[in-house]
Amino acid sequence: MPFKFNDVQDLLNEKKKKAVVQKYKGSPNFCRMFVSLYGLGLLYFIFNVWNRLNEIGIGIKLRMVIISLLFTNIYSFYSASKKDPGYLTKENVETVCKMYNWDGIYYVKKDCYTCNFIKPARSKHCSICNRCIAVYDHHCVWINSCVGLRNYKWFMMFLLTFIVICGWGSSVMFQLLVRNHNMHEVYKMKRFDIRSNSYKNLTDTDTVMPKSKVLSSTDSSVIQNEPTDYFYKPEDASKLSKEKWELAVEEDLINPYRKPSLSNTKMYFSF
């Protein structure tokens, strides 16, 4: 029996019906992986490096500063991941609506049909958390939470202290590496073998650079009062009319949410 075109079309339609598109619904695995790597690195530093800090002239005062930064980093990470990022509810949505006006381009006055209340300007419904977030920036898999109005300061503090700690740790490891090389101990210790380029794994460069990029982007978002999500796409860009889209790309378009840098920073740190 010959195979007809209609049979092929029916087969394709049947496959489309069976195809299921699954959205990422969030997972704590990235957060757990980061905590595990963080803990292993910290244990290595405590048992293999801490007692050798005096060899490169690091005294008790600087050690206390690093310990303080370490505790600040851990607490800010916990706060960013566990505290309310700015969840919108029917009780607080009216208060948040008064913070910003809708610009009619990126943020249009309309309801969130999932949460069943009006969407304030600069808010967004996170498909992963399934909640509306005030002053939504992005959903971070490393803290397994959104970054929004109420945990923005903790997220920034975590990034800043993490970069300082990694940078200081890289400097310490490099100084110890050079010292061992000068004492001809490097040839007795395979883990410090420069010829195998193993020292690269000890310097945290691959960790510091991405974190620095995230921090610079976050700092820019705070100073200019433009969340990360603002840079990538306007809300419902495909639904915007041609007139609105042309206006949105004009060079002289003024961001209505941009305030003086100090005012922007103060706003985020006041929550």
Structural domain includes residue 13? no
Q: Cα–Cα distance between 233 and 227 in angstroms, integer? A: 11
Structural domain includes residue 132? yes
The domain containing residue 124 runs over which residues? 24-269
pLDDT along the chain (271 residues), means of 10: 54 53 72 93 90 87 93 96 93 91 85 91 90 92 92 94 92 84 55 46 51 56 58 51 50 60 60 58
| Residues recognised as catalytic | 140
Structural domain includes residue 154? yes
Measuring CA to CA, which residue among 115, 112, 141, 117 is closest to residue 128? 141
What is the pLDDT at residue 179? 78
Q: Cα–Cα distance between 155 and 85 in angstroms, integer? A: 10
Structural domain includes residue 4? no
How does pLDDT run across 46-60, given as a tens digit for each residue?
998 888 888 888 889
What is the pLDDT at residue 79? 95
Provide the β-strand partners of residue 67.
Answer: none
Whole-model pTM: value is 0.66
How does pLDDT run across 123-140, given as a tens digit for each residue?
999 989 899 999 999 999
Q: Cα–Cα distance between 51 and 43 in angstroms, integer? A: 13
Contacts of 119 (CB under 8 A, 6+ apart): 107, 109, 110, 111, 112, 125, 132
Give the count of domains, the chain.
1
Structural domain includes residue 14? no
Structural domain includes residue 2? no
Structural domain includes residue 165? yes
What is the pLDDT at residue 26? 73
What is the pLDDT at residue 108? 87
What is the pLDDT at residue 223? 52
Structural domain includes residue 8? no
What is the pLDDT at residue 181? 67
Question: Positive or negative, the Cα torsion across 109, 111, 112, 115?
Answer: positive
What Å distances lie between residue 46 and 43, 52, 136, 169, 172, CA to CA? 5, 10, 38, 12, 13
Helix axes 60-82, 152-182, angle to 10 degrees: 140
Instruction: Please provide residue 3's backbone torsions phi and psi, each rounded to the nearest 5 degrees.
Output: -85, 120
